Structure 1
Amino acid sequence: MSDIKGVLYLIPTTLGDSEPLEVLPLSVRKVIEEVDHFIVENEKTARRFIKRITPKKSQPSLTIYKLDKYADEFEVKTYLDVCEKGISVGLISEAGVPAIADPGAEIVKLAHEKEIKVVPLVGPSSIILAMMASGFNGQNFTFNGYLPIETNERKKVIKSLEKLSKEKNQSQIFIETPYRNEKMFADLKSTLTPTAKLCIACDITLQNEYIKTMEIKDWKHQQPDLHKRPTIFIIHKD
């Protein structure tokens, strides 16, 4: 067994069908060229991404560990065993950066428990990019993940987030399953106060990117096409 452990690289991907090197630094390609062991959510899309960014890399030489909802938790705990032999592993997100609104966080936790070095690589995070473009308080913000599906419960949470935003001057970020975006937008317009501000950031980094911040009273006259488009919602109440 090697005295030098391998490294866990956190490898970002694109947020959609854009050229990888338009949104990713060359350091990402360099790491992918050097690593043959990858932990991924979806093997097919991960292999496609690896091939796009390093066309000459041998696909048969890759060892792929799947981290999806069907992955056995005991087997997952073995995914970093090769690091004990000095072999590095890459953790690839399905979109954007690993471990942020992403199941890869469990692998990062495991790496720290095993005292394996964790190296995060630069790449696009839709959450951070949306926050950057919102015009809201970048000194104090919270990512809330998904809000409740049930309408009444979701509206209660929306009201509580608006109240929290005003009390703490804190921007409140959340996401929705893309096919439910328009229902979320309707609930936001009917629940938030007219002067509350809402930023909608859709298809970030893609050609049809849409980012707009307005007060709710102005959003009531707008109906952007959000259906099945990855979207970040941010609310802020002054």
Structure 2
Amino acid sequence: MSSMNALYIVATPIGNLDDITQRALATLQKADIIAAEDTRHSAKLTQHFGITTPLIAYHDHSNESQTLRLLDRLSKGESIALISDAGTPLISDPGYRLVKLAREKGIAVVPIPGACALVAALSAAGLPSDRFSFEGFLPAKNVGRNTRLEALATDTRTLVFYESPHRIVESLQAMAQVFGCDRQVVLAREITKAYETFLSATFSELQGMMAADANQLRGEMVVMVQGYVAPEQNDEALEPEVQHTMQVLMAELPVKQAAALASKLTGIKKNKLYKWALGKKAE
């Protein structure tokens, strides 16, 4: 084949097939094989563009022998195009192990850039994009999800999450509890598709929108949360004794629990104590 021996990381459309690049089409056509997350899904793409390169299944749960077979083919001079179901491979998609081992063996790894839901959503969200943190998918279980969110509660960067329709309601509820109902959030769904939607609101408002319109629960989603902004100190000041109580409790408990218990002990509103605690953590 005419292309250089390498592992090509090829971005594919996330919805609109017109977003495929000419370079991606040429790479997929010239490669010896295409390693795909789901060959049945990717076959629709290759058939649409008349690409005849053989497809084989590869994902991060593939057994070690499959990874070694691909590395062996690369070592013998073949070229492999790695694709995911949609978007850029390795961005919450498979491929890390193969790329890492290929580089360790001195095999060229070449990115073929293109569509990426993370970048597309953030570019149109209207939230600060000079500094952001991509967090991928949150843990499915409540404890793991809350632990991850609490670690991000005072992060000043824009936070970006991927989420699926069957977990979006629970995830938004958890975010509202940890980040506060008044934090700004943008929900992007069905990006590049016919029903592409961007909803910009507070968590409280967004939850109402989702409850009122079942259509907003459909499609793959990107959730973007405005970073933490420290509250004004003048009306958030606490008496020294209350501050001491909070500091003692925060040393032993998560912020949310510390604020709830301190509220019972002092009679001060839980939200005020929670905001004060977040401000201290951010210092």
Contact kept in structure 2, 1:5 and 1:116, CA below 8 Å = no
- Conserved? CA contact 1:175–1:233, under 8 Å: yes
Residue 70 of structure 2 corresponds to residue 82 of structure 1:
no
Match of 1:229 among 201, 216, 219: 219
Deviation at 1:202, TM superposition (A): 0.5
Deviation at 1:196, TM superposition (A): 1.1
Task: Name stretches of at least 5 consecutive residues in structure 2 with no aligned partner.
Answer: 230-283
Aligned residues: 223
Amino acid at match of 2:194: Q
Deviation at 1:41, TM superposition (A): 1.3
Taking only the aligned residue pairs, the percentage that are identical comes to 23
Contact 1:189–1:219 (Cα < 8 Å) also in 2: no
* Contact 1:181–1:228, Cα closer than 8 Å, also in 2: no
Shift of 1:190: 4.5
Is 2:161 the counterpart of 1:142? no
| Distance apart, 1:73 and its partner CA | 1.3
Residue in structure 2 matched with residue 47 of structure 1 by the alignment: 43
Distance 1:227 1:217 in 2: 16
Deviations 1:62-94 (A, max 9, x none): 443322365211331221322223221100111
User: Closer, same or farther in 2 for the Cα pair 1:194/1:86, shift >3 Å?
Assistant: same
2:199 and 2:206 in contact (8 A); partners too: no
Q: Which runs of 5+ in 1 are unaligned?
A: none
In the TM superposition, residue 102 of structure 1 has moved relative to its aligned partner by 1.0
Equivalent residue number for residue 205 of structure 1: 192
What is the TM-score with the length of structure 1 in the denominator?
0.83
Q: Distance in 1 between matches of 2:125 and 2:225?
A: 9
CA contact (8 A) 1:181 1:227 kept: yes
- CA contact 1:204–1:210 (8 Å) conserved in 2: yes
Equivalent residues in 2 for 1:1-238, closer than 5 Å: 6-16=5-15, 18=16, 20=17, 22-53=18-49, 55=50, 57-58=51-52, 62-68=53-59, 71-151=62-142, 153-164=144-155, 169-223=156-210, 225-236=215-226, 237-238=228-229
DSSP 3-state at the match of 1:9: strand
Q: Secondary structure at the match of 1:213?
A: strand
Structure 2 letter corresponding to 1:10: I
Deviations 1:169-192 (A, max 9, x none): 211111223321223233334443
Partner of 2:256: none
Q: Distance in 1 between matches of 2:82 and 2:105?
A: 16
Give, as a single letter, the amino acid of the residue that structure 1 aligns with 2:76. Answer: K
3-state SS of paired residue (1:96) = coil
Say whether the 8 Å CA contact 2:172–2:207 is kept in structure 1.
Answer: no
Q: CA deviation at 1:220?
A: 4.6
SS in 2 for 1:80: helix
Offset of residue 232 of structure 1? 0.8
Cα 1:144–1:87 shift into 2, 3 Å = same
TM-score, normalised to structure 2, is: 0.71
SS in 2 for 1:46: helix
- Which entry has the higher C-alpha Rg, 1 or 2? 2
CA RMSD of aligned residues (A): 2.3
In structure 2, C-alpha distance between the alignment counterparts of 1:220 and 1:10, rounded to whole Å: 37
Q: Which has the higher helix share?
A: 2
Q: Per the alignment, in what secondary structure is the counterpart of residue 134 of structure 1? A: coil
The alpha-carbon distance between structure 1 residues 217 and 228, as it changes in their structure 2 partners (threshold 3 A), is closer
CA distance in 1, matches of 2:187, 2:123: 12
Distance 1:163 1:137 in 2: 16
